[in-house]
Amino acid sequence: MTAESLFATLFPADCRLCGHPLAQISRLPVCSGCLLTLHRFAGRQCFLCGELLVSRVYAPVPEETVSLCGLCQKVHPSYERAVSFGPYDGALRDLIHLLKYDRIRTAAPILGEHLAAVIGDIAQNFKGTQPIIVPVPLFKSKMRERRFNQAELIAEAARKLLPFEAFLRPDLLVRKRPTVSQTGLTRHQRRENVRGAFSIPHRNHGIVKGATIILVDDVFTTGTTAEECARVFKRAGATAVWVVTVARVSKLEVALSPFSFRGGAGEVKAAGA
């Protein structure tokens, strides 16, 4: 490889999201303009799972009052709350794709910065304890294929920015078998897809018992993976499980705009939790 081509690889000239020339040399091929478009959720969300709520139904409820979606009103999830930085579309989705599919690891610090902000929003619930951050694990064949776990890279970047001490333990939870994409599956099929897919090695039970767990993933899709992981942790004696993701797929947004979370080539990418 010539010096010129090596430089072009390490320091791309054009933004990978909008295609405009980069004004500054950077190993992250994304312009500052695109990074400024990363936005948090706007509108009322379910207090437990983070699903967007229909404004005309919930508008009369005072802002300080907790609102729940229909599903969480019927069945309380195993986790305490699931919180996300923003919707899984636009520049946020594309940045996650750069890390996850294009293997551009320099996207992890930016995503980790936004994840840290979300963790900061719920930090008062940890009550002086030292929570354990656990990335949702990949199955070994997927790990070999991708060569890294994007959730772990994001979690590590976020941990460095937290204003409190937290442990990162990617080894606490293992994925025992592969699972298929949850996209297009019924609720029952999604549960069966992940049932028994995760476990906590016996050597880790003493660490998990009584612990506060922050479960981290890149995207909250259907919530089935997060629910299964939280259930496994609770059965092992964890005191609390908080689910934190960079992005979230909202059923309401998908219903209003069916193509809002499609990839650049028009293909729906498999997301995370």
Of 226, 222, 142, 233, give the one whose Cα is nearest residue 189.
222
Cβ neighbors of 233 (< 8 A, separation 6 or more) are 134, 173, 200, 208, 213, 215, 241
Say how far apart CA 159 and CA 167 lie, in whole Å. Answer: 8
pTM above 0.75, yes or no: yes
45-54, 76-85, 133-142, 254-263: the lowest-pLDDT one: 254-263
pLDDT at 221 over 60: yes
pLDDT in tens, 23-78: 887 889 999 999 999 999 988 899 999 999 975 444 444 555 789 999 999 999 99
CA distance 170 to 168: 6
pLDDT of 266 over the 50 cut: no
- Whether the predicted pLDDT of 268 surpasses 70: no
pLDDT (tens digit, 9 = 90+) per residue, 76-85? 999 999 999 9
Cα–Cα distance for residue pair 61/67, rounded to 1 Å:
8
State the pLDDT confidence band at 20, using cuts at 50, 70 and 90: very high
What pLDDT shows up at residue 255?
52
Could you confirm whether domain 38-256 is CATH 3.40.50? yes
